[in-house]
Amino acid sequence: MVGVMPKEEDWGMEGGGDQIPAGDNLLQALIIDDLRDFIANHNLDDSARTKLESCTLEQQVDVISQDSGNVRNMNAVVISRANKSQKQGPQFTGAKSHEYVTGLVDRFIDTLQLDEKASAGLRALPPKYQVSVMARDMGGVTNPSGVVDSRVRKLLREGDGYLQASAGAHLGSANMAKTQSANLGPMPTDATQFLEQAYQAFITEYNIDQRAQDLVAMLMPLEKLEVISDGMDNVWNPSGTVASRAIKVKGRQVILGKRAEQWISEVAALFCQSNGIDETADAWALLGSLPADKKFEVCSQSLAGARNPGSVLYCRIQKLGYAGPQGMLAAPRALPGFTRTPVLAAALSASAGGAAACTSGGCGDS
C-alpha cells in the first residue's frame, strides 16, 4: 500500500516533545488578560464590548493594540476600529501596534521554546503576518518549532509584495535560514536600499556565482529589479540564468512584470510608513498614482532630515508632472497592503495640504 505524503505542516507533528493539548490557542491565552484589562480600563459599554467580542482573534489584537491616547469617546473608537478591521483585515501599522505585537511574539517564542530558525523566521515577518501565524491552533503539535517554521515559509512563498518587502525585502521563494545568514543589515530607508537588500537575499538563496554578480553589478537599479523579479521556478542553473538575464536587459528599455510592480508598490507603502506619512495624506495617494518606475524613482530619494516628509514627497511628485496646485493629473491607485482607503477626494480637487505647502515654500528637503 502506498503511503500518503503528510501535509507540510504535519511534519511538525512528529518527533519528540510533549504534545500541546488539542484546541488550545496560545495567542488567545496570551491576550486574554490584556483584553479584559482593555475593556475594564476603558469602561466599554455593552455595544462596544459586543462589537469587540464579534471580532476574530487577529482583529481583537488589532483593535486593542492601537494607540488610545487622547481618545475622548473610546466606545465609538472601538466600534470604528472593529468595523475597519473586519472590513479590511487587521493592519497593525501604528507604532503602538508594532510594539504590542513584538511583545506577543517574544512571549509566544518563550512559551513554545522555539528554536533559533523558527524564532528568526517569525520575527522577520511584518506584524500582521506574525499575528496570523500565532493565531493558528497549535493543538496536537509535538514539534512547535517545525510547525512555526513551516507556516512562515509557506507565507513567504505565497505572500504578497508587502510581505516579501518587509521580510528581508525578498523577491524569491524564501528560505529564512539562508536569508538570515545574509547579514542584511538595518531596515532600509529608501527604495534603492530595499532593492539592494532584496538582491543580497536573492544571491544568498540561489548561490549566484561571481561572474553573474559582476554582470548584475553593471545594471541600473530597475534593470537589476527586472532580473531578480522574473522568478526562478524550474531553473536548474541559477547563475547561468541570472547572467543571461543581465546581458539581455542591459541598455534596453526596462520591462517590469506584475511581480516587480507589486514589489515597488509595497516598498512605496513601507517608505511612507517609515517616514511617518499617514495613509490619509495627499502624498500617499499621489504616490499610488505614479507608474512603477516613477514610484521607484521618488522613493529612492531619502526623506531623512525633512521637517515635513509628506510635503517634501508631494512636491517631488509635483516636479514629475503628476500633481499640481489644482490636484492630480493621473488617476490614483491606492498603495496596497495597508488601509487601501487613502483620501483621494482631496487629491483630485484643489489640495489644501501638499499644494499649499509647495506654493508657500514648503518643498525644501530640509
Which of 321, 322, 283 lies closest to 303, judged by CA?
283
d(CA 97, CA 132) in angstroms, rounded, equals 14
The secondary structure of residue 327, as a DSSP letter, is: E
End-to-end CA distance of the chain: 72
Higher pLDDT, 284 or 20: 284
pLDDT at 110: 93
Q: Check residue 2 and give its pLDDT.
A: 36
Closest C-alpha to 149, from 171, 191, 119: 119
pLDDT tens digits for range 205-224: 778 899 999 999 999 999 99
d(CA 320, CA 323): 8
**At residue 68, does pLDDT exceed 60?**
yes
Let me know: does 220 contact 214? Beta carbons within 8 Å. no
3-state secondary structure at position 227: helix
Contact 202, 230 (CB under 8 A): no
Q: State which amino acid sits at residue 331.
A: A
Higher pLDDT, 338 or 254: 254
Predicted confidence band of residue 184 (pLDDT cuts 50, 70, 90): very low
Cβ atoms within 10 A of the Cβ of 113, count? 11
Give this prediction's pTM: 0.47
Percent of the chain with pLDDT over 70: 72
Q: What's the CA gap between 268 and 165, in Å, rounded?
A: 10
DSSP 9: G
pLDDT tens per residue, range 285-326: 889 888 999 999 999 998 888 889 999 999 988 888 775 444
pLDDT at 11: 36
Q: How confident is the model at residue 4 (pLDDT cuts 50, 70, 90)?
A: very low
Averaged pLDDT score across all residues of the chain: 75
* Rounded-to-integer distance, Cα 85 and Cα 217, Å: 43
